[in-house]
Amino acid sequence: MEALLLGAGLLLGAYVLVYYNLVKAPPCGGIASLRGRTAVVTGANSGIGKMTALELARRGARVVLACRSRERGEAAAFDLRQESGNNEVIFMALDLASLASVRAFATAFLSSEPRLDILIHNAGISSCGRTHEPFNLLLRVNHIGPFLLTHLLLPRLKTCAPSRVVVVSSAAHRRGHLDFTRLDRPVVGWQQELRAYADSKLANVLFARELATQLEGTGVTCYAAHPGPVNSELFLRHVPGWLSPLLRPLAWLVLRTPRGGAQTPLYCALQEGIEPLSGRYFANCHVEEVPPAARDDRAAHRLWEASKRLAGLGPGQDAGPDEDPQPEDPGTPSSRSSPLSEEPTVSEPHPIPHNSPDLSKVTHRIQVKTEPEPIS
């Protein structure tokens, strides 16, 4: 009996050490009041995105939930308004698998919202599910769609500078390898899905790096954020039904809650003084070194050019939302698309905007991007 108690005590102690050192996320601080500012959070109807939007709403921001499902997006907006006490939480339809939907969202947003201070690319998929598309669906949703959306919203971000772009990535980027000759080929089978997911997360890190270079001196800064191991729908969505009851208790014990997973993206969006670290990768609310493939500036620029082509932006062209270039894949609505994707709806009319405070009084940007030399 004593041996059993001793063993139980050791297991409990080990779990406490693991929980507080690896699982529990540090709380986000940063700017306390966001009144008069507007944030867009993609995939904000559940999980990390919903918790991110909740914290932004609690701090007074006007928050746009950019989601594929109108039903789930409207329900999430209602929940967040109730929980935060902030009535300026709205839903707008966005399907990142459809380039047409991305453009329609940008057009609707720019015509109805005078500000954009924070853009958080949270939405993502880890599997193609039963969908069969003539392109790499994981790369489209996790990178190309966010890439195009950022381009279309950049004029508004620049107008409202200092502003921020946060790209939610993953530690899976360390397993990624971008083959530019096969970048947009369809993904078939679970093994290809695992590789394609890691590749898309590497693309997120390289995108943030190149975007920081492109935007240096504009007052718009950007960051790649790893939320940590999170017990969210993304983790369990594609688990076989018979395995789910076994994994759920384990996930509850060793994975972060969505609220914990939201802390690093929130840190990147709100923390004062990190402007010189634009383009860097953050985990557990601090900057973290990445492998050589994720800090390869030549690969980052090559990905930038390839992404412009796949997003329908010609060489040297940053197409506005009203332009209609023809990409190799025209971006017609995928089989995942909601019928509402083409004409995004807004859950409530835009109120008279508040007088926005001057963000330069609370944050500043140092015009030289600094990064320590990697340790060889």
Active-site positions read 197
Q: What is the DSSP letter of 230?
A: B
Burial of 2 (0-12, 13-18, 19+ CB in 10 A): exposed
Asked if 38 and 61 touch (Cβ cutoff 8 Å), the reply is: yes
| CA proximity to 118, closest of 47, 172, 44 | 44
Contacts of 364 (CB under 8 A, 6+ apart): 162, 275
Amino acid at 349: P
CA 178 to chain centre: 20
Q: What is the DSSP letter of 31?
A: -
Per-residue b or e along 325-342, where b marks 16 or more CB atoms closer than 10 Å to that residue's CB:
bebebebebbebbbebbb
Calpha distance 240→291 (Å, rounded): 33
Calpha distance 346→369 (Å, rounded): 38
Q: Can you read off the two tokens belonging to residue 310?
A: 């796949």
Calpha distance 102→353 (Å, rounded): 24
Residue 166, phi then psi, degrees to nearest 5 = -120, 125
Q: Can you read off the two tokens belonging to residue 183?
A: 């970048």
What is the sign, positive or negative, of the torsion defined by CA atoms of 345, 346, 352, 357? negative
Calpha distance 38→3 (Å, rounded): 58
Q: What is the DSSP letter of 343?
A: S
Q: What is the DSSP letter of 313?
A: P
| CA proximity to 48, closest of 76, 69, 16, 11 | 76
CA 115 to chain centre: 19
* Neighbour count for residue 41 (Cβ, 10 Å): 33
Q: Can you read off the two tokens belonging to residue 103?
A: 């453009």
